[in-house]
Amino acid sequence: MSLFKITFLAFLSVVSSEFLWKHHNNEELQLVLEEIHEKCPNVTRVYALTEPSVRNVPLYVIEFSDSPGFHQPYKPEVKYVGNIHGNEVLGRELLLGLADYLCNQYLNHDRRIRTLIHNTRIHLLPAMNPDGWQLSTDTGAQDYLIGRNNNHSVDLNRNFPDLDAITFEFERQGISHNNHLLKDLTRLAAPLEPETRAVMRWMMAVPFVLSAALHGGDLVANYPYDESRSGAPVSEYSASPDDDTFRELAMTYAEAHADMADPKRTGCPVSNTDSSTSYNFGKQGGVTNGAAWYSLKGGMQDFSYLATNAFEVTLELGCKKYPPAEELEREWHRNREALLEFISKAHVGVKGIVSDDSGFIQNAIISVVNITGPVPRPIRHDVTTAAYGDYYRLLTPGHYEVTASHPGYFPVSRVVTVPHHQTVAKILNFKLEPTTSWFDDYTTFGLYPYGLRDGQPRIYKRSIYEQVTNMFLDKKETPKQ
């Protein structure tokens, strides 16, 4: 090969790996992710969700981890979902830019990014609604409504099963069951769209701890619940059991953003045609409870919290839903620190492994009482252990009593102090004693004889919740009414 050829090829590879701030179409989106993977093959993986969009566009995800493709105990999983509303496009480009940045900084030996990738498994889904993006882009990229929905004219952020109604009903009846509520759903209000189904299966398959959905049209970090308890359409604060933690998660983004939390900035214009401005969320720190703003049913955020272990917030990234390409790089600089800081919040609170003499216990329940003040306050939202018996319980600084329980075992409680400024969650492991001899547990013994005899961990390939969801998704796709 001539020197010219080598130089030319080297030049080409440099050019092709240069990330450009522009609006990437659906084919370019895939190419960008694949190029990043080629640049950082050891710490990335590109995969598509189980189902494509209505118009058959695959929903691509790029994953960053030092063990791509595998969940590891003690390593929390985080996701960002962009472009749920097809005409809200900033999140889509920011996630592509974030992927490029993580890869480059990893290669540049940036210690912060290396630590983040070694300790966290990060999944980025730049576009949940590629069909809406296409329509919005083809019709001038200006309209505040066209392209919002998917190709069946369904708003994907209203299409998730309404689990708020179930948890509110359980609250009224004094029923303590407060998590993984999908199996308590008896019917769907509307058929699930393919994009919704794909994301639901993803949520159930990966033990996510922390998540954010990226939207546009205002500048605020919105946290659960999105749905009001009374049915009021606006202005009713709808606190979840984890209100303190959610406020802190939302504030983390707002305060690390260039001006989301700035009380002096102006609010967004009410609409394209109306130059008057709406409320400036900067006056309340750049955050809002969802229902205190306006109530919505079937959103992804509340579904995440009530169907899985993931704590999810909704980020409104700016007044313009479809900002011009020349503003994208500036927006990246305004959001970069916030995007990174938010991911690092997967490392607050406590984490650990629940096991018995023979191995890990999957689906053990972790319940928490806040004992910081004079009166103990139970946080009525339990999390469960993943395939390696591992759990992640995001908490604000304070004192807590944490209890691990599982049918067939004596529950164990431990007291823990969650410090300020955590870079890694406090580790709190639990060893449970069975209430009966393990010889009685014949079915388990029969299924995993070598595992028990050799003291090897009991590893289940798929979680019970995933199995339940798949059953649910397969059987109940059409509403009964």
- Active site positions, annotated: 316
Kindly tell me which of 215 and 320 has the beta carbon lying closer to Zn ion: 215
Kindly tell me which of 215 and 229 has the beta carbon lying closer to Zn ion: 215
Cβ-Cβ contacts under 8 Å for 293 (sequence gap 6 or more): 220, 222, 234
Closest contact distance (angstroms) between CB of 155 and Zn ion is 9
Kindly tell me which of 155 and 171 has the beta carbon lying closer to Zn ion: 155
Interacting residues with Zn ion between 111 and 140 (CB under 5 A): none
Interacting residues with Zn ion between 264 and 283 (CB under 5 A): none
215 binds Zn ion (CB under 5 A): yes
Closest contact distance (angstroms) between CB of 177 and Zn ion is 31
Closest contact distance (angstroms) between CB of 222 and Zn ion is 10
Closest contact distance (angstroms) between CB of 154 and Zn ion is 14
Kindly tell me which of 215 and 426 has the beta carbon lying closer to Zn ion: 215
Closest contact distance (angstroms) between CB of 422 and Zn ion is 31
User: Rounded to an integer, what distance in angstroms lies between the CA atom of residue 16 and that of residue 11?
Assistant: 9
In one letter, which amino acid is 196? Answer: T
User: Of the ranges 35-43, 183-191, 215-223, 236-244, which one interacts with Zn ion (CB under 5 A)?
Assistant: 215-223
63 binds Zn ion (CB under 5 A): no
Bond preceding residue 225 cis, omega within 30 of 0: yes
Kindly tell me which of 85 and 351 has the beta carbon lying closer to Zn ion: 85
Residue written as token pair 């130089």? 7
DSSP 180: -
Kindly tell me which of 128 and 394 has the beta carbon lying closer to Zn ion: 128
Kindly tell me which of 158 and 399 has the beta carbon lying closer to Zn ion: 158
The 167-206 contact track toward Zn ion, x by CB under 5 A, reads ----------------------------------------
String of DSSP letters for 90-136: HHHHHHHHHHHHHHHHHHTT-HHHHHHHHH-EEEEES-S-HHHHHHH
Closest contact distance (angstroms) between CB of 87 and Zn ion is 8
Packing angle, helices 130-138 and 26-39, rounded to 10: 130
The 408-447 contact track toward Zn ion, x by CB under 5 A, reads ----------------------------------------
CB-based burial of residue 201 (10 Å sphere; 0-12 exposed, 13-18 middle, 19+ buried)? middle
User: Rounded to an integer, what distance in angstroms lies between the CA atom of residue 148 and that of residue 195?
Assistant: 13
C-alpha to C-alpha distances, 433 to 388, 391, 408, 427, nearest whole angstrom: 17, 18, 9, 20
Max intra-chain CA distance, the chain:
79
Q: Where are the beta strands (DSSP E) in 233-363?
A: 287-289, 311-318, 350-356, 359-360
The 77-106 contact track toward Zn ion, x by CB under 5 A, reads --------x--x------------------
Output the residue with the shortest Cβ distance to Zn ion: 215
Closest contact distance (angstroms) between CB of 218 and Zn ion is 9
Residue 328 parent element (H or E): helix 328-344
Q: Is the dihedral of CA 360, 365, 369, 370 positive or negative?
A: positive
Kindly tell me which of 85 and 121 has the beta carbon lying closer to Zn ion: 85
User: Of the ranges 214-222, 272-280, 337-345, 365-373, which one interacts with Zn ion (CB under 5 A)?
Assistant: 214-222
User: Rounded to an integer, what distance in angstroms lies between the CA atom of residue 106 and that of residue 238?
Assistant: 40
Q: 60 and 125 in contact (C-beta within 8 Å)?
A: yes
312 binds Zn ion (CB under 5 A): no
User: Rounded to an integer, what distance in angstroms lies between the CA atom of residue 99 and that of residue 325?
Assistant: 18
Closest contact distance (angstroms) between CB of 331 and Zn ion is 16
User: Rounded to an integer, what distance in angstroms lies between the CA atom of residue 61 and that of residue 82?
Assistant: 11
How many chain residues are in contact with Zn ion, going by CB under 5 A?
3
Q: How many residues would you count in the chain?
A: 481
- Return residues touching Zn ion (CB under 5 A): 85, 88, 215
